[in-house]
């Protein structure tokens, strides 16, 4: 039985759950999940876990991601993307200081999430309020942008690459960039080109998946960038016992043969506790 990760290059028009169902049917297994949801209109890297690898999903939602987005100037929509209803329009007549505007978003800032998102307020998702036409106060959230680079300018469309923290909404970023340029705007297209350690070069299309032309990434390789700790006595991890080591972050615990056993984290008392067994 195959265990591991498959990086899917998700096409537009599919939900992340649609992709999970396709992988289930193709590989004839029910144990499939994904890390880091992509909107139906978005394309690119979707990390899919198969069988035992589903145990690790909570640790595979990357803190940093890279996207390539195209911003359309001159109109805004209720969803902040191309699928929405136009709310505002303004004739496009050019702009100035584009690089300065893009650079102004670098570093730490506060961002208001889009109303059409799955964030919950009072137990209800924002997009449910939006569909009901109800106004809800949405507090801004902290985000961090490491890089934002202009890739292409073509009339009223701007394509850029952005490296950002988890929780950054590119739809909101497009809206905010357009506003600084003096226009309403919306995100026309979005490609997630990287999610943590995984990028498009590792991905397969749905057709390649169905034809069996895909790479299964072993779970031990999926945690290659996480600090490793090798146990002489693997029964410690197999029994969920604490380790007498002190780290201020999560670590991947292996046996001497190189098999991954568990993810451990600080217990607050100078030792490491098991967060999830992966055997």
For every residue of 175-224, DSSP letters joined together read HHHHHHHTS-EEEEEEEEEEETTEEGGG-B-HHHHHTT---PBPHHHHTT
**DSSP β-bridge partners for residue 45:** 9
Residue 43 neighbours by CB distance under 10 Å: 20
Pull the structure tokens for residue 221.
């390789």
Give the max Cα distance, the chain.
69
Active site residues: 39
Residue 173 neighbours by CB distance under 10 Å: 25
DSSP collapsed to 3 states, 105-154: CCEEEEECCCCCCCCEECCEEHHHHHHCCCCCCCCCEEEEEEEEEEEEEE
Residue 29: DSSP 8-state: -
Pull the structure tokens for residue 157.
């469309």
Alpha carbon of residue 119 to chain centroid: 15
Q: Is 66 within 8 Å of 162 (Cβ atoms)?
A: yes
């Amino acid at each position: 039985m195959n265990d591991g990760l498959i990086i899917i290059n998700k096409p537009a028009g599919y939900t992340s759950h649609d992709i999970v169902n396709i992988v289930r049917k193709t590989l004839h297994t029910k144990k499939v999940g994904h890390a880091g949801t992509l909107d139906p209109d978005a394309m690119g890297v979707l990390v899919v876990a198969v069988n035992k690898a589903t145990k690790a999903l909570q640790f595979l939602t990357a803190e940093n991601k890279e996207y390539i987005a195209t911003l359309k100037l001159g109109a805004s929509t209720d969803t902040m993307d191309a699928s929405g209803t136009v709310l505002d329009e303004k004739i496009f007549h050019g702009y100035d200081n584009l690089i300065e505007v893009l650079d102004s978003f670098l570093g730490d800032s506060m961002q208001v999430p889009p109303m059409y998102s799955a964030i919950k307020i009072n137990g209800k998702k924002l997009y449910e309020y939006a569909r009901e036409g109800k106004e809800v106060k949405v507090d801004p959230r902290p985000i961090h942008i490491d890089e934002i680079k202009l890739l292409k300018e073509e009339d009223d469309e701007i394509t850029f690459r952005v490296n950002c923290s988890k929780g950054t909404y590119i739809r909101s970023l497009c809206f905010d960039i357009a506003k600084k340029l003096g226009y309403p705007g919306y995100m026309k297209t979005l490609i997630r080109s990287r999610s943590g350690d995984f990028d498009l070069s590792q991905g397969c299309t749905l057709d390649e998946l169905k034809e069996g032309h895909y790479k299964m990434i072993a779970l031990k390789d999926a945690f290659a960038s996480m600090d490793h700790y090798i146990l002489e006595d693997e029964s410690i991890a197999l029994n969920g016992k604490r380790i007498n080591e002190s780290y201020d972050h999560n670590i991947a615990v292996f046996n001497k043969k190189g098999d991954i056993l568990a993810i451990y984290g600080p217990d607050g008392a100078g030792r490491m506790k098991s967060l999830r067994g992966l055997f």
